[in-house]
Amino acid sequence: MKQHYLIRSAVIVLLTTISVQCNTSKQLTGSFKAKLVATLCSQHIVQIEDPEFYRLGTAWKEYKHVFAVGNHCDFAKAGLKAGDTFTCTIIEKAEETDCIVCEAYMETPDLKRYVKVVP
C-alpha cells in the first residue's frame, strides 16, 4: 500500500512539473529575429525567423510562423521595408494608437501581435 502511494505521489509531482514547464514555454517574453514579409499602409505581416519563437506565429497562405502587426503606429516608426530583418519583442498593448493611415487594404493573418522593434 505504501509503495502504491509513493508511485502515485511521484506521478503527480512529475505531471505538475511538466505542466509548469509547458505553461512557461508559452509566455510571450524575449526578443527574436523576424522578417517583414509584406507591408501596405497600416497592414504589416511579420515572419518569425527564430525557431525558439515559432510558437508565436501561425501558418497562413504559403507562409509559416507569421502574424499581423497590431500596433501600426509604433511599428511604422522603425521605417522597415518588405524584406527587412529585425529584432523585436512582443508587448502587451500599443504605446501609441493615434496616427495617420491610408485606406488601402491588404489581406493579413487573423493572428495579431503587438511588437516593439529593438536595436
Q: What is d(CA 70, CA 109) in angstroms, rounded to the nearest whole number? A: 11
pLDDT digits (tens, 9 = 90+) for 26-37: 566 899 999 999
CATH number at residue 79: 2.40.50
- With a cut of 90, say whether residue 53 has pLDDT above it: yes
Task: Count the domains in the chain.
Answer: 1
Burial string for 5-20 (b: 16+ CB within 10 Å, else e) reads eeeeeeeeeeeeeeee
Q: Are 70 and 113 in contact (CB under 8 A)?
A: yes
Domain assignment present for 3: no
Q: What is d(CA 18, CA 20) in angstroms, rounded to the nearest whole number? A: 6
Domain assignment present for 22: no
Domain assignment present for 9: no
pTM above 0.85, yes or no: no
pLDDT digits (tens, 9 = 90+) for 63-118: 999 999 999 989 999 999 999 999 999 999 877 777 888 889 999 999 999 999 99
Range of the domain at 70: 31-118
